[in-house]
Amino acid sequence: MGTAGDSEKKPTVVFVLGGPGSGKGTQCAKIVEHFGYTHLSAGDLLRAEIRSGSENGTMIQNMIKEGKIVPSEVTIKLLQKAMQDSGNDKFLIDGFPRNEENRAAFEAVTKIEPAFVLFFDCPEEEMERRILSRNQGREDDNIETIRKRFKVFLESSLPVVEYYESKGKVRKVDAAKPIDEVFEVVKAIFTPKDEKVAV
């Protein structure tokens, strides 16, 4: 009946989605601290691979230079390797899937469906305000660029959110609130129902 492979517990994966400035990085750090997840950022993994100077990294760098999208498979392989290397079985995957194609490829390649999607819902004006106030330094943070990043986020990521919404897997968080209030909501999402009784 069951082969040995079946007994392997699949890791718990939570996709973290939210526009630029929605505060997801801050919240991910808190989830790691409180709930023992490993935080994997697709962008960081790609950048680390480029820095490593590997053949794969060079290929990724050239694609980005040419303005091409890095193929889903490449990012997914990096995520899979990071998951295996971490020795953990609970992961926050941040900034991925960026689009519907990423999502389908992730499930096809890893055979993992996310436990849920943590979606930081933040009005565009608030994200703009945050990004502009926190960065006097980053050259890509002028208002046009921010709006463009936001538009790209909406166009590509919202279909992913909608797909998981249809499966009842989206946990939407009002990310416009102060950090601590947002984390209270996040904490409730990550706390197993049966533990909530013990105050």
HEC assignment per residue over the chain: CCCHHHHCCCCEEEEEEECCCCCHHHHHHHHHHHHCCEEEEHHHHHHHHHHCCCHHHHHHHHHHHCCCCCCHHHHHHHHHHHHHHHCCCEEEEECCCCCHHHHHHHHHHHCCCCCEEEEEECCHHHHHHHHHHHCCCCCCCCHHHHHHHHHHHHHHHHHHHHHHHHCCCEEEEECCCCHHHHHHHHHHHHCCHHHCCCC
Residue 5 included in any domain: no
Residue 194 included in any domain: no
To the question of whether residue 10 is assigned a binding role by annotation, the answer is no
Query: Quick one: pLDDT band at residue 199, thresholds 50, 70, 90?
Result: very low
Say if pTM beats, i.e. exceeds, 0.85: no
Residue 87 included in any domain: yes
Residue 195 included in any domain: no
Residue 43 included in any domain: yes
To the question of whether residue 189 is assigned a binding role by annotation, the answer is no
Q: How much of the chain exceeds pLDDT 70, in percent?
A: 89
* Count of structural domains within the chain: 1
pLDDT at 102 > cutoff 60:
yes
To the question of whether residue 169 is assigned a binding role by annotation, the answer is no
Q: Quick one: pLDDT at residue 19?
A: 81
Residue 19 included in any domain: yes
To the question of whether residue 25 is assigned a binding role by annotation, the answer is yes
To the question of whether residue 41 is assigned a binding role by annotation, the answer is no
Residue 198 included in any domain: no
pLDDT digits (tens, 9 = 90+) for 12-36: 999 999 887 788 889 999 999 999 9
To the question of whether residue 95 is assigned a binding role by annotation, the answer is yes
pLDDT at 150 > cutoff 90:
no
Q: Quick one: pLDDT at residue 129?
A: 82
Which domain covers residue 121, as residue numbers?
Answer: 12-185
To the question of whether residue 120 is assigned a binding role by annotation, the answer is no
pLDDT at 7 > cutoff 50:
no
Q: Quick one: pLDDT at residue 194?
A: 66
To the question of whether residue 19 is assigned a binding role by annotation, the answer is no
pLDDT digits (tens, 9 = 90+) for 115-142: 999 999 888 888 788 777 776 655 555 7
Q: Quick one: pLDDT at residue 139?
A: 59
CATH number for the domain spanning 79: value is 3.40.50.300
Residue 7 included in any domain: no
